[in-house]
Structure formats: structure tokens, C-alpha cells
Amino acid sequence: MPENQSRPPQPWENGWAPDTSRPPGTRRLYLAGALAVATIVACVTAIAWTDKGPETLSQPSPSGTGTLPGLISFGTPSQPEVTPPKGKSGLTTDEATTSTPRQQGSASPSPAAHPTTKPPSSHPSSSAPRPTTTWRSVRSVNYPDRYWHVSGGYVKLDPVGGSESREDSTFKLVKGLSDSSCYSFATADGQYLRHRNFILVANRNDGSPLFHQDATFCPHASSVPGAIMLESVNYPGRFLRHQNFQLKLDPYQYNDLYRQDSAFRLVAGLA
């Protein structure tokens, strides 16, 4: 190489010295870091806008008729209006609530605003119905002037006599002792009519099942209009009839005399 060829001056030759306080390439590092930060911010912003649904992208204008410019508008379906049912559902009621205005110058509401409830009376009303006891007399169909009558413990068919006879010809009609769908007949002194040896008598109730059955008779329609026949509970097919004016229990017979003798009418008590 020729010795006189020109070459660039070196720093130490012209008096300039390199800056040794900063490592070489620092400016490039600053620029790269700033670019990376800007990229991250842009990504985060894009992700945030993406996570917001169409409800945030479509924002109504202040007038409520459009969307902000530059944003995509998505239609939002309208929600149907729900009307609560009326009635006693806890939501609404058909009854209107009204308030009673206070009288001017009065410190307390009027008595009509707060009615007082009167306590029920401890005494029953005189107009209330009272329980009644059904007292009946039993009249023969073919001997209409004769009625069942207790005499000497037996039940006979006798004509109406004095006051004692009327009382002995009146019976309390109660539900059957052994079958509530049937009848039992009680006397004024607490005895019951029962059959014993198929004869109708008046005895005290001893509480036995046999007594309850003997004192229970079931009504059946008679061939005579308005009359009934009384059948024994524990002897089905046997009906009360009068024979020689004595009340007894006889099996059913297919003849007119039996039908007449076993037909009776329940009438108002004679006593």
C-alpha cells in the first residue's frame, strides 16, 4: 500500500473522544422497548373491545334513535311485557285500597276509619233454632182409630183413651241401636220397644248386642200408599204386624190381610 494514500482521521487525532458513559446500542434498545410497549397496549385494547358484547358496541345515541358513528350496530330483541295476574296471588288484587281522609282540625282519625269489632256474645241468640226430639205415634192402617200402646209391658193396638194412654202411645223415634239407617222406638220413661219370643214388649236397654238388634226395625214401603212395614234386623223376612190387636213379629205372607195388618203410619205424637 502506498504510504501517501489518504485515510480518515481517527478520533484521537482530531481531539474528539467517544462517549464512554453509555454502552453502545442503547438508543436502539429504547426504540425497541417503546415499540413493544405500544404493541402490547394495542393488543390489550383490541382484546378489551372484543370482550365487550354487541350490547356495548351498539350504543344508543342521546336521542335514542341511532348509534354512535363508526361502531357496528347489532339489533337487540325486545323483551315482552309481563303483566302480573290479578287476584289473590300476592302481586295484584281486584280490591281497590282507599284511605279515609282525616277531618280538618281533628288530631285523631274518624271512628269510621277504624271500626271496632264487637266480641261474640256468650249467650245464644233467642232466634237460633233449638234441637228438637221427634215424637211419633204409630197408627194402624186397617184400624185407623187404634195406635200402638204400651200396656203391662206389652205393645198392643188400642184406641186412644185418657192422658195416660196418650203418653203410652207416643214414642221417641231414634236411629236404630244396631243400624243407624233403621229405627228404634223409646218410651217416655226411657224404655225401648223390642221383640222377645217374637212378641213386641217394652224393656230397659241392657246394652247387649242382642237387645240392640231386637230393638231395631228397618222401614220398607208398604202396598198401602203413605204407610210403611217394619222388618226385624236380626230376623230378616219377619215384619211387625198386629194379630188379635197384639203386636208381634211374623214372616211375610202373600195375602191382603197380612199386608193390611203389617202396614202402619207414623203420625204426630198424641201426647
- Among residues 146, 170, 140, the alpha carbon closest in space to that of 160 is found at 146
* Cell numbers linked to 34: 417503546
138: exposed, middle or buried (C-beta count within 10 Å: 0-12, 13-18, 19+)?
buried
SS3 of residue 54 by DSSP: helix
Q: What backbone torsions phi and psi does residue 44 show, to the nearest 5 degrees?
A: -65, -40
- Residue-level pLDDT, tens digit, the chain, 271 residues: 455 556 666 555 555 555 556 565 667 777 788 888 888 888 777 777 666 554 444 444 444 444 444 444 444 444 444 344 343 333 333 433 334 444 444 444 444 444 343 333 333 333 434 444 699 999 999 999 999 999 999 999 999 988 788 999 999 999 999 999 999 999 999 999 999 999 999 999 999 999 999 999 999 999 999 999 999 999 999 999 999 999 999 999 999 999 999 999 999 999 8
Residue-level pLDDT at 17: 57
Does residue 177 contact residue 210 with C-beta atoms inside 8 Å?
no
Secondary structure element (H or E) that encloses residue 156, with its range: strand 154-159
Residue-level pLDDT at 11: 54
The DSSP line for 98-124 is --PPPPTT-SS--GGGSPPPPPPPSSP
Residue-level pLDDT at 176: 96
Secondary structure element (H or E) that encloses residue 194, with its range: strand 192-196
